[in-house]
Amino acid sequence: MAQVIERVQELLDPAEMIPRVIGRYSPLHIDHGEGVYVWDVNGERYADFTSGIAVVNTGHCHPRVVAAIQEQAARIIHAQANILAHSPMMRAAKLLTETTAPNLNQVFWTNSGAEATEGAIKLAKIATGRPAIIAFRHGFHGRTHAAMAVTSSRVKVRGHYEPLIPSVYFAPFPYVFRSPYKGAPEDADLYYFAELEMLFDQMVMPDDVAGLLVETIVGEGGYLVPTKRWMQMVRELCDKHGIMLILDEVQSGMGRTGKMWAYEHFDIVPDIMTAAKGLASGMPAAAVVSDRAHMDKWAPGSHGGTYGGNAVATAAAAATLEVMRDEALPENAATMGAILMEGLREIQADYPVIGDVRGLGLMVATEFVHPDGSPNPDAVKQVVAEAFEEKTLLITCGTYDQAIRIVPPLVVNEGQIREFLEVFRRAVASVG
Ligand SMILES: Cc1ncc(COP(=O)(O)O)c(C=O)c1O
């Protein structure tokens, strides 16, 4: 305790040191974490149902990941990939490609989701020799310039930063809960697919399109799950026109949805996949994964970076992939996700302020509505604040912050899920 108090006295005011562009959800100054929980510098414990934005899928500071980081840090930290090969990078690539479809067999390592987006776009352009990219409304792919250009989850991500890269064409993503389509709900996906196809009649020649980039499950934009039929039609459209299907699995991958990769739910395989977030349990590692035949078209030196494949980060990735496999975390996500979803639907039945409960596995969101059905970010704010009072961390998503993400670490157990549901019910009840 004396140690904790000493540390509190040492604290610097974040407002002095950190620019306000880093907006924060909570005033917490954190000390350490373990599994589903984090402790602040005052020794207070919080249940982390954000997973640091869907990152610590193996739980905070999983002992095997910590050991791998410590061991590697003492061996070599920086073995620059253009100069040296090293085991963690290759072992992590092997473990990663053991989880993916056979055509996703080579890994370009990078540091963040945005950089993976950049790499995937560049690879699609090089592999096809074409200039254009199709992306989807509500999508989020990162904050660098190309990533902003394919992002439309909310205007503040890209507004005032123009010019962005050109030749990006947007189609609407099937957000069926809020759709201009008023026909039979089971046909909504056909409407959205027709909108996508219309791009080729109105905006861009298909043989100018290098890649079609889509989040398998839309994350920041609202946790939107497409139908299997829509995904399969998109895959077929890409095949028909020689367009590379690029699936962004940065948020939906690494077991989050109850399968290792969300694309497995749809019986399709992408040509290029991006991964980050959960990939290294919080160390900065990200990946562009594709077939060697495509990767071979990327001439040496035509893409790269100083830190990609960092030895400590990829040691953490390798340990993370092993933990994911050995502890069957995707399976746990499916089981716990079903309990979570059922509990949330019960709360929804009692409180019409929850308009929609959606998701797959432990990638789940609840959307809040006014009585007229319009987005209700005020209710979201209150529920997040009430949950915080009960020492539970939550984050929002959606263009208007109209939804709350529920994304605990995949090591979460049933008792913790049920405890969370009680907290959430009380928080929703406070809104009425
Ligand atoms: C689907 C998706 N793609 C890309 C990114 C960008 O990742 P990063 O923040 O690591 O650049 C994110 C981040 O939230 C994401 O959710």
- Please write the tens of the pLDDT for every residue from 249-277: 999 999 999 999 999 999 999 999 999 99
The per-residue pLDDT for range 278-299, each reduced to its tens digit, is 999 999 999 999 999 999 999 9
Q: Looking at residue 2, what is its pLDDT? A: 44
Residue 7's pLDDT band, with cuts at 50, 70 and 90, is: low
- Rounded to the nearest angstrom, the distance between the alpha carbon of 169 and the centre of ligand 1 is 20
- Distance, CA 55 to ligand 1 centroid (Å)? 10
- Largest Cα separation within the chain, whole Å, is 70
DSSP 251: T
Nearest-angstrom CA–CA distance, 171 and 137: 6
Q: Is 365 exposed, middle or buried (0-12, 13-18, 19+ CB in 10 A)?
A: buried
Cα-to-centroid distance, 36 and ligand 1 (Å): 22
Beta strands in 216-306, from DSSP E residues, in sequence order: 244-248, 272-275, 286-290
Phi–psi pair at 224, nearest 5 degrees: -105, 130
Query: What does the pLDDT read at residue 174?
Result: 97
Q: Tell me the pTM.
A: 0.97
| Among candidate residues 188, 305, 297, the one with its CA nearest the CA of residue 244 | 297
Contact between residue 257 and residue 222 where contact means Cβ atoms under 8 Å apart: no
Residue 44, classified by CB atoms within 10 Å of its CB into exposed (0-12), middle (13-18) or buried (19+), is exposed
* 99, 104, 107, 112: CA torsion to nearest 10: -80
User: Could you tell me the distance, in angstroms and rounded to a whole number, from the CA of residue 283 to the centre of ligand 1?
Assistant: 14
Burial class (CB in 10 A: 0-12, 13-18, 19+), 164: middle
Q: Which two tokens stand for residue 301?
A: 């030196």
pLDDT at 180 over 60: yes
Q: Is 316 left (phi over 0), alpha (psi -120 to 50) or beta?
A: alpha
Q: What mean pLDDT do residues 356-361 have?
A: 98
Site residues for ligand 1, CB cut-off 6 Å: 53, 112-114, 117, 140-142, 215, 219-220, 248, 250-251, 276
One-letter amino acid of 171: A
- How far apart are the CA of 307 and the centre of ligand 1, in A? 18
Instruction: State the Cα–Cα distance between residues 117 and 144, nearest whole angstrom.
Output: 9
Instruction: State the average pLDDT over residues 168-173.
Output: 98
- CA of 220, closest atom in ligand 1: 16
Local confidence band at 1 (pLDDT 50, 70, 90 cut-offs): very low
Nearest CA to ligand 1 atom 8: 113
**Which of the 8 DSSP states describes residue 100?**
S
Segment holding 417, helix H or strand E: helix 414-431
Radius of gyration of the chain (CA): 21
347 CB neighbour count, 10 Å cutoff: 20
* Mean pLDDT, rounded, of the chain: 96
Give Cβ neighbours of residue 48 (< 8 Å, ≥ 6 apart).
Answer: 33, 36, 37, 38, 56, 60, 393, 408, 409
For 361-398, write each residue's pLDDT tens digit.
999 999 999 999 999 999 999 999 999 999 999 999 99
Spatial contact of 270 and 104, defined as CB atoms under 8 Å apart = yes
Tens digit of each residue's pLDDT (9 = 90 or more) over 125-143: 999 999 999 999 999 999 9
Q: Which atom of ligand 1 is nearest to the CA of 286?
A: 10
pLDDT tens string 27-58: 899 999 999 999 999 999 999 999 999 999 99
Percent of the chain with pLDDT over 70: 97
- Name all domains of the chain by residue range, CATH numbers in brackets: 2-58+329-431 (3.90.1150.10), 63-326 (3.40.640.10)
Q: What is the pLDDT of residue 14?
A: 78
Q: How large is the average pLDDT for residues 178-198?
A: 95
